[in-house]
Structure formats: C-alpha cells, structure tokens
C-alpha cells in the first residue's frame, strides 16, 4: 500500500514537472507578447471587426431586398432601373446615419493598409500598379457614403492579386477603386457604403 502511494506521488510529480516544462514556467511570471504576436492580435481584431460589420451590412441588405419586389431578369430596362432605385432608397433609409468609417474602422483600415503594402512591396507590385493605372481617369468625383456610384463612370479593374489579399466579402458587396480610394459598394444598388481614402499607394 505504501509502495503504491509512493509510486503514485512520483507519477503525479512527473506529470507536474512535464506540465511546468511544457508551459515554460509561466507560473513563475507572466510572459510579454512578442511583436509578431501583438501584430497577429491586431490583425485578428481588425479583421474580425471588419468581418462583423460587413456581416451586419449583409443582413441589412437582405432585409432591404426582402421588403421590395424581387429583382428579376426582364427585357424592360426601366423596370431594372426602378427596382435598383427602390433598393437604393431602402438601404439609405435603413442606414440614414451611416458615416465613413462605419465599416472601415481604424483597426480595419490599419490591417487593410498593411495587406496592401505587402502587395505593393512584393514581386507582384508592378502588375498590380499597371492594372490600376490602366483604368480610365477619374473625372472629378467626390466620394460620399450612401452615394450612388455614378451611372456611366467606368470601373477600374480591381487587380486579382490584390483581391486575393483583401478580406473576403459577401456576394452583396464588392471592392472598387477610384484613384487612391478603396470603396465598398453594394453590388445590386450600386451604392457606396464606405470608403478608405489614400488606401492605394
């Protein structure tokens, strides 16, 4: 009996020692986060914040669509235009207090700027720059939240390499680039829902 108790104590001690070694002695003092881990924590926070706000917008868009006649294919362009306009008005109504930065929060902007910088300082930089510069020039357009993307204004191609690095968006929302500004646009309403100035170097 005594021998079994001794063996048991030894095993427990071994387990405790292994546990201590595995945790690197954290019981002794708290360990400061490395700069990489701090960066990861910021990235996670920025991304999560952006993701949550985009999800909120996605729900808002779906609610707006549900309250209107369904956008169906038609031979009548005036019907498409009217349906789009109705969606625009509904989204504006549901987001009457929307401001720049509601989705592109400071943390999200910081993370996205960092991702863009990685692309612009890497091997893909010249290809991405060429794609954006090849877009038709911007014709004196002032970007505002809840504003329609002007009918007839050309779209600069969003470089595929950049799209692979930016946070993923739901089907209802798309990135667009106007000059150096990165926009979030409601695809069906063609409505600017937020923007990030000086995002594109």
Scanning 30-38, 47-55, 103-111, 123-131 for contacts with another protein by CB under 8 A, the matching segment is 123-131
Tokens 């991304």, located at residue: 47
Does 157 help bind another protein (rule: CB under 8 A)? yes
Scanning 36-44, 47-55, 98-106, 128-136 for contacts with another protein by CB under 8 A, the matching segment is 128-136
Scanning 5-13, 16-24, 93-101, 158-166 for contacts with another protein by CB under 8 A, the matching segment is 158-166
Does 160 help bind another protein (rule: CB under 8 A)? yes
Phi/psi of residue 51, nearest 5 degrees: -60, -45
By CB under 8 A, name the one of 48, 80, 94, 102 that touches another protein.
80
Which residues is 181 bridged to in the sheet?
Answer: 178
Does 68 help bind another protein (rule: CB under 8 A)? no
By CB under 8 A, name the one of 89, 161, 197, 201 that touches another protein.
161
Phi/psi of residue 182, nearest 5 degrees: -100, 125
Rounded to the nearest 10 degrees, the angle between the axes of helix 125-133 and helix 106-120 is 110
Q: Tell me whether residue 143 or residue 173 sits nearer to another protein (CB atom).
A: 173
Question: Distance between CA atoms of 126 and 128, rounded to whole angstroms?
Answer: 5
Question: Distance between CA atoms of 143 and 145, rounded to whole angstroms?
Answer: 7
């Amino acid at each position: 009996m005594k021998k079994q108790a001794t063996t048991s104590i030894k095993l427990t001690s071994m387990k405790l020692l292994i546990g201590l070694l595995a945790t690197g002695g954290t019981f002794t003092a708290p360990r400061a986060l490395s700069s990489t881990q701090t960066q990861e924590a910021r990235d996670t926070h920025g991304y999560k914040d952006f993701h949550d706000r985009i999800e909120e917008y996605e729900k808002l868009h779906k609610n707006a669509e549900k309250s209107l006649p369904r956008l169906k294919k038609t031979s009548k362009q005036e019907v498409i235009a009217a349906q789009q306009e109705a969606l625009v008005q509904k989204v504006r109504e549901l987001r009457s207090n929307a401001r720049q930065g509601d989705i592109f929060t400071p943390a999200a902007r910081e993370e996205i700027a960092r991702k863009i910088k990685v692309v612009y300082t890497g091997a893909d930089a010249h290809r991405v720059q060429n794609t954006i510069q090849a877009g038709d020039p911007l014709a004196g357009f002032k970007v505002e939240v809840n504003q329609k993307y002007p009918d007839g204004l050309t779209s600069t191609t969003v470089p595929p390499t950049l799209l692979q690095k930016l946070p993923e968006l739901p089907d209802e929302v798309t990135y667009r680039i106007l000059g150096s500004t990165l926009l979030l646009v409601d695809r069906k309403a063609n409505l600017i829902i937020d923007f990030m100035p000086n995002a594109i170097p």
